[in-house]
Amino acid sequence: MEITWEDGHHSTYSGEQLRWACPCAECRGEAGAPGRLAKINRLSPEELLIKDVTLVGQYALQIAFESGHATGIYTFRYLMSLPPRPPEV
């Protein structure tokens, strides 16, 4: 997924990076309980494939993955804070 920011610079995000960065309560945990991503170290290929991206208001993107997981709301501020895409392994 590629974003062009208002200042003209580009950011590229892989599905894998975004999936691991999913900010939803299920993945991140809530109320001090660890989320799903804290308990696993592998995700299946379909979980890493972006299926759909929806603009939420003016501030965020909702990203749906092939696995059906679509509860993550990625604010632009959050996306900007993610590290640059790591090299393919």
Beta bridge partners of 62: 54, 73
> Least distance (Å) from Zn ion to the CB of residue 40?
12
Of the two residues 11 and 67, which places its CB atom closer to Zn ion in the complex?
67
Q: Which of 24, 60, 63, 79 binds Zn ion (CB under 5 A)?
A: 24
- The answer to whether 43 contacts Zn ion (rule: CB under 5 A) is no
- The answer to whether 27 contacts Zn ion (rule: CB under 5 A) is yes
**Burial label, 72 (beta-carbon count in 10 A; 0-12, 13-18, 19+):** buried
Distance CA 21, CA 29 (A): 12
Of the two residues 15 and 72, which places its CB atom closer to Zn ion in the complex?
72
Using CA atoms, how far residue 31 sits from 23, 26, 35, 70, 82, in Å, is 14, 11, 10, 21, 23
Of the two residues 3 and 64, which places its CB atom closer to Zn ion in the complex?
64
Residues that bind Zn ion (CB under 5 A): 22, 24, 27, 72
